[in-house]
């Protein structure tokens, strides 16, 4: 690949925006698990990967997997990737940047021989939007897609299993989606999605750990009734109960340092302005670096829901969709990544990720590391999400340096690491 370093960064950004045009909703970026727009994304990436000499396949959960082979078919394998699905009305870089950067790394390698193969993966589902359960793509790599998960249904009653079949994939082949046994490490590039790097005017960050998260759905059940004839003291208003609770969630999290708790989705039934809401379902997302703090916070927040409901004669239930402990990333790989960033001329601060990532699913199985790229405005999960070309260039330069360090590390292992 010829051209200047700014060309290669510009090309990565252009490709992310080409992928962004593959959407279920014209005029915004919305691409959920195994929806038709993912076919167009796979076609674009397959073209770029095959042009870079990679062998490309789609596994049974819909992950796109491209391999640059090593010296032999049994060569150890470095996995680089991120996710291709989005939240509704998303930005163009969350997840996608990590996959497109992976392809750019392969292009930069040209014919350079490495003592390991490189697999670039585009996970089919990380956000958890369609089936209210995140990480379906990476869970398949570590054998954690259980029968209950395959039986989950989306809003139109289609199960995960059916969605796989509708995408012309075969659920019986899910075991074959497992990590190749020769995979020795996972590397994920991702936008920070927060304000830290921008506040410090830093292009890159090296992630040491990913905070834990609990995701739940609460249902407040009261009594629908006429908005005009029902006196206030005779109501069992599910909306008012949920509303009091949502403010209590904000108050609770605001009074506990570094805890974050969010109610991002609320649905009311029957949903008419002249009817008292009989039933309200609300999401809950609680995150903290310390699992004990997160678990205690969830219990306290559920107590607030009970109090807000009881005082109105409303009943409240909750279902857990995700209980994901905090995950430390691999110290040795993280040191190598820090060294590579410094060597490339971009000293990167170390940090914890408030966002969840596929790396937290893989890290318990294989040494994993993450590099963050600055998010201008600290904005993400929003159409104005952006990256700066010079930061993309810094990430690619760091990646090439990291591969060189990994090559040396694997050919002359220091302090027992291989």
Query: Which residues lie near Mn ion (CB under 5 A)?
Result: 94-95
The smaller minimum CB distance to ligand HGY, of residues 114 and 361, is found at: 361
Tell me the closest approach of the beta carbon of residue 249 to ligand HGY, in angstroms: 17
Residue 64 within binding range of ligand HGY, rule CB under 6 A: no
Q: Select the residue whose beta carbon is closest to ligand HGY and give its number.
A: 356
Spatial separation of the C-alpha atoms in residues 369 and 363, rounded to whole Å: 8
Interacting residues of 387 by C-beta distance below 8 A, sequence separation 6+: 13, 16, 93, 97, 191, 373, 374, 375, 376
Tell me the closest approach of the beta carbon of residue 138 to Mn ion, in angstroms: 11
Tell me the closest approach of the beta carbon of residue 240 to Mn ion, in angstroms: 32
Joined tokens for residue 344: 């490339």
Tell me the closest approach of the beta carbon of residue 210 to ligand HGY, in angstroms: 9
Helix (H) or strand (E) holding 191: strand 183-191
The smaller minimum CB distance to Mn ion, of residues 379 and 404, is found at: 379
Question: Which of the residues 133 through 162 are near ligand HGY (CB under 6 A)?
Answer: 134
The smaller minimum CB distance to ligand HGY, of residues 355 and 395, is found at: 355
Query: For the window 365-404, what string marks contact with ligand HGY as x by the rule CB under 6 A?
Result: ----------------------------------------
The smaller minimum CB distance to ligand HGY, of residues 124 and 221, is found at: 124
CA 62, chain centre distance (Å): 15
Closest to 202 measured CA to CA, from 374, 351, 60: 374
Residue 192 within binding range of ligand HGY, rule CB under 6 A: no
Query: For the window 319-358, what string marks contact with ligand HGY as x by the rule CB under 6 A?
Result: ------------------------------------xx--
Tell me the closest approach of the beta carbon of residue 374 to ligand HGY, in angstroms: 16
Rounded (10°) CA dihedral 283, 288, 291, 294: -50
**Cβ count near 3 (within 10 Å):** 9
Residue 85 within binding range of ligand HGY, rule CB under 6 A: no
Question: Which of the residues 92 through 111 are near ligand HGY (CB under 6 A)?
Answer: none
Tell me the closest approach of the beta carbon of residue 127 to Mn ion, in angstroms: 5
Angle, CA 197 vertex, CA 194 and CA 201 arms, to 5°: 140
The smaller minimum CB distance to ligand HGY, of residues 107 and 127, is found at: 127
Q: Are 162 and 152 in contact (CB under 8 A)?
A: no
Rounded (10°) CA dihedral 370, 376, 377, 379: -50
The smaller minimum CB distance to ligand HGY, of residues 127 and 237, is found at: 127
CA of 327: how far to CAs of 130, 194, 286, 324, 380, in Å?
24, 19, 15, 9, 22
Point out which residues bind ligand HGY (CB under 6 A).
Answer: 126-127, 134, 355-356
């Amino acid at each position: 690949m010829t051209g200047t370093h700014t060309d290669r960064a510009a090309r990565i950004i252009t490709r992310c925006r080409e992928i962004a045009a593959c959407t279920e909703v014209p005029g915004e970026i919305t691409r959920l698990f195994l929806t038709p727009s993912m076919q167009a994304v796979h076609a674009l990436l397959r073209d770029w990967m095959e042009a870079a000499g990679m062998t490309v396949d789609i596994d049974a959960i819909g992950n796109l997997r491209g391999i640059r082979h090593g010296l032999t078919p049994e060569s150890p394998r470095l996995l680089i990737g991120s996710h291709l699905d989005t939240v509704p009305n998303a930005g163009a870089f969350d997840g996608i940047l990590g996959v497109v950067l992976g392809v750019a790394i392969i292009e930069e390698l040209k014919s350079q021989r490495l003592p390991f193969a490189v697999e670039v993966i585009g996970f089919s589902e990380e956000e958890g939007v369609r089936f209210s359960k995140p990480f379906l793509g990476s869970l398949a790599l570590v054998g954690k897609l259980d029968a209950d998960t395959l039986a989950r249904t989306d809003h139109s009653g289609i199960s995960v299993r059916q969605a796989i079949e509708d995408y012309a994939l075969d659920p019986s082949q899910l075991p074959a989606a497992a990590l190749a046994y020769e995979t020795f490490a996972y590397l994920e590039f991702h936008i920070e999605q927060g304000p830290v790097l921008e506040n410090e005017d830093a292009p890159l960050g090296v992630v040491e750990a990913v905070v834990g998260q609990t995701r739940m759905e609460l249902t407040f059940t009261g009594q629908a009734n006429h908005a005009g004839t029902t006196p206030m003291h005779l109501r069992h208003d599910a909306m008012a109960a949920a509303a009091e609770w949502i403010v209590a969630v904000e108050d609770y999290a605001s009074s506990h340092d570094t805890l974050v708790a969010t109610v991002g989705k609320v649905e009311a039934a029957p949903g008419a302005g002249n009817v008292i809401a009989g039933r309200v379902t609300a999401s809950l997302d609680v995150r903290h670096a310390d699992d004990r703090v997160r678990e205690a916070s969830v219990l306290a927040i559920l107590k607030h829901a009970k109090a807000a409901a009881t005082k109105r004669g409303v009943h409240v239930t909750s279902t857990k969709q995700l209980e994901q402990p905090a995950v430390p990333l691999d110290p040795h790989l993280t040191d190598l990544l820090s060294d590579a960033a410094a060597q490339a001329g971009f000293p990167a601060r170390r940090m914890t990720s408030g966002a969840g990532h596929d790396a937290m699913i893989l890290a318990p199985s294989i040494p994993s590391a993450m590099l963050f790229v600055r998010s201008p405005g600290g904005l993400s999960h929003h159409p104005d999400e952006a990256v700066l070309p010079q930061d993309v260039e810094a990430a690619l330069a760091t990646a090439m340096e990291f591969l060189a360090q990994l090559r040396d590390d694997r050919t002359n292992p220091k302090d027992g690491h291989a």
